[in-house]
Structure 1
Amino acid sequence: MPTPVRSEYQFWVTWASRASVATASVLIVAKLVAWFYSGSASMLASLTDSLMDAAASLINLMALRLAIQPADDNHRFGHGKAEPLATLAQAGFILGSSFLLVFHGVDRILKPAALSHSGIGIWVSVFAIVLTLGLLYVQRHAVKVTGSTAIAADALHYRSDLLLNLAVLIALVLASKGFWWADGVFSVLIALYIGYGAVTLGYEAVQLLLDREAEPEVRQQVEQLTLEDRRVLGLHDLRTRRSGHVLFVQLHIELESDISLRDAHDIADAVEQRIRAALPDSDVIVHQDPQSVVATAPG
């Protein structure tokens, strides 16, 4: 995954997060009206999910505004971990809503009821599908450009919303044909799908907060860039992690034992510059080791 330039990252995560909040707000109003007139459990499930999406998107917006702030005296490594924290909060919101939807869906299965004004719900579902597709297009491009985990988490919400709205549409059509049980069954299925997505999001957020290594292809690229200079005889102790849009890289390079301190510094500095050029907005630290010391080190 490429590391974006800061200004590009800031533009796209801000634009995508604002679009998400706006979309959720419009859908809440539309679904509230549809549920009020139809009484559909599936529409209530969809409305609840949109409420959770709006809350999660607001958290995203605030967290991303913090994450793009530069490092300061109290946060020397920047504020990038606000992103996975926002993702973890979203996962909690989604998981909680899925439990509520299961209970409501089961109640509707045990106590089926005819729906009224189901046509309103059907048209609102179609509208929600079209609006969500537009948002997903924006989010997909934002994730491609920035690699933002928070936007990726939000996009997962709305991909599940797309399926959710399709399921609601099917449930309403079936219920209007007399299959009243479909409303409750689809509500439960939607809730289970949402809950699975929440667990997946939560796991990814925890891994980022625990400083999981960058992708294997990124580590391989760092190794190749380091060894481009023939004066670099080897490398070891390569460590990487992500914090928001910043990729942190630390490694030791192995050099001839008899070169001057100035030459060793220049070689390490050139390695850092190559990595930063290939991976923009990365934070790189290179330590120099004499090869003789590495060769005689225990283990």
Structure 2
Amino acid sequence: MIQALIQRWLAGQDPSAPEARQKCGARAGMVGILLNTLLCLGKLAAGMLTGSVAIVADALNNLSDAASSVITLVGFRLAGQAADEEHPFGHGRMEYLTGLVVSMAILLMGFELGKSSVEKLIHPEELDFSWLAAAILAAAVLVKLWMYHFNRAVGRAISSQAVEATAADSLSDAAATAVVLAATLIGHFFHLQIDGLAGLLVAAFILKTGWEAAKDTLDPLLGRPMDPELARDIDKLVVSHPNILGIHDLVYHDYGPGRAMMSFHAEVPADADLLEMHDIIDHIERELKEKHHIETVIHMDPVVNDERTAALRAQVEQLAHEIDPVLSIHDLRITAGPRHTNVLFDVMVPYGFRLTDSQVRGELSRGVKKLSEKYTAVIEVDHSYVEQREHS
């Protein structure tokens, strides 16, 4: 049912397109406002019937969720605005900011709930049991579980950190309400006053969710590496064109979902026709924009493929792999002089590598010198802007 609803909202549109994302995100926000408001009213009634601080706190948590849905809705509206003179890359990061605001609201609610629960532990009170209140809590658990699946499906369909943060919040809310329900039943049947303890457990759920959601929204704001699957897909697309030998120095800038820029160097034969290569590069830029919605700038790197350069490139690549298989080289070229020969190349080193940049340069320089006393290595160290999942 959820997938059918999302497909109906998309109406055949590309889910990564800004217009489709805005529509789905806004509608998901409206669903959240409606359901969280109803849950808040129901739990407040249950809290007044029983006198439970945990139930009232859970109701206030739903009220904050409704407010968070309003923030998410406004964020999608703002993020959908077109680029202007002051924001030439659009307003897509507003979605990340609203996700961060939602996370902060979740953390604040968890802190306040924890404080109220400690007070309840210090000064416990007898609760009035109500089967109506228990039924309201049980229904709330089911509603929140549905909201979790709903928001997760929408968030994954449109690749939205804000909606996925809301999904995580819904799951923690379901667990928190289940704890409150269990505490209510235990208090009634076993006469144990654990309302304050239940409140603390709910607060812990909420704080954990808020922290994880904050981290997920902070990463794109601070700048994160490109997803390796996207990088592989781009590499495959680019090298499928004639006379493109490879790519390197891939740099990605995220200005919000569907609003990204990147640049990279494309290796082309040094003896290729310049006008023909320019036309191919232009075509690749347009193709990447159509397929991935990424504005791309490509720098052409001429590669000399004579026998001597190719052999030396293979030898230097082997030297890099002997240091560590994660290292790679590119842009190798030779400038020969009467007494010595400069071997110029770049080496790609992942962040957090066990050796410093200067140590990598030193080991490679010594290795190149062993190949020939005439060789002098001129090395530039690059760092990957693509997430290295296999080495994390």
Provide TM-score, normalisation by structure 2: 0.71
Give the letter aligned to residue 275 of structure 2: R
Q: Secondary structure at the match of 1:284?
A: strand
Give the letter aligned to residue 284 of structure 2: V
Instruction: Select which of 152, 162, 187 maps to 2:174.
Output: 162
5+ residue gaps, structure 2, are 1-13, 305-329, 334-343, 345-378, 381-392
Q: CA deviation at 1:277?
A: 4.3
Pair 1:84-2:96 in alignment: yes
Pair 1:231-2:257 in alignment: no
* Equivalent residues of 2:80, 2:91 under 8 A apart: yes
* Equivalent residues of 2:43, 2:55 under 8 A apart: yes
CA distance in 1, matches of 2:298, 2:130: 64
Pair 1:263-2:285 in alignment: no
Instruction: Select which of 122, 125, 131 maps to 2:143.
Output: 131
* Equivalent residues of 1:38, 1:120 under 8 A apart: no
CA distance in 1, matches of 2:221, 2:288: 24
- Structure 1 ranges of 4+ moved more than 6 A: none
5+ residue gaps, structure 1, are none
Max Rg structure:
2
Q: Which moved more, 1:109-118 or 1:17-26?
A: 109-118
Q: Which moved more, 1:117-126 or 1:91-100?
A: 117-126
Give the letter aligned to residue 294 of structure 1: D
| Cα-Cα RMSD | 2.1
When the two structures are aligned, how many residues end up with a matched partner?
297
Q: Secondary structure at the match of 1:76?
A: coil
Q: CA deviation at 1:3?
A: 6.8
Q: Secondary structure at the match of 1:181?
A: coil
- 1 or 2, which has the higher strand percentage? 2
- 1 or 2, which has the higher helix percentage? 1
Could you say which residue in structure 2 is the equivalent of 1:251? 264
* Equivalent residues of 2:144, 2:170 under 8 A apart: yes
CA distance in 1, matches of 2:137, 2:255: 37
Deviations 1:8-28 (A, max 9, x none): 322211111111111111111
Q: CA deviation at 1:233?
A: 1.5
CA distance in 2, matches of 1:262, 1:33: 74
CA distance in 1, matches of 2:239, 2:186: 63
Pair 1:48-2:65 in alignment: no
Q: CA deviation at 1:256?
A: 2.1
* Equivalent residues of 1:114, 1:180 under 8 A apart: no
Q: CA deviation at 1:117?
A: 4.0
Give the letter aligned to residue 299 of structure 2: H
CA distance in 2, matches of 1:135, 1:104: 27
Q: Secondary structure at the match of 1:194?
A: helix
Map of 1:1-299 to 2, 5 A cutoff?
A: 4-246=16-258, 247-279=260-292, 281-291=293-303, 294-296=331-333, 298-299=379-380
* Equivalent residues of 1:254, 1:290 under 8 A apart: yes
CA distance in 1, matches of 2:254, 2:132: 46
Structure of greater relative contact order (alpha carbons < 8 Å, 6+ residues apart): 1
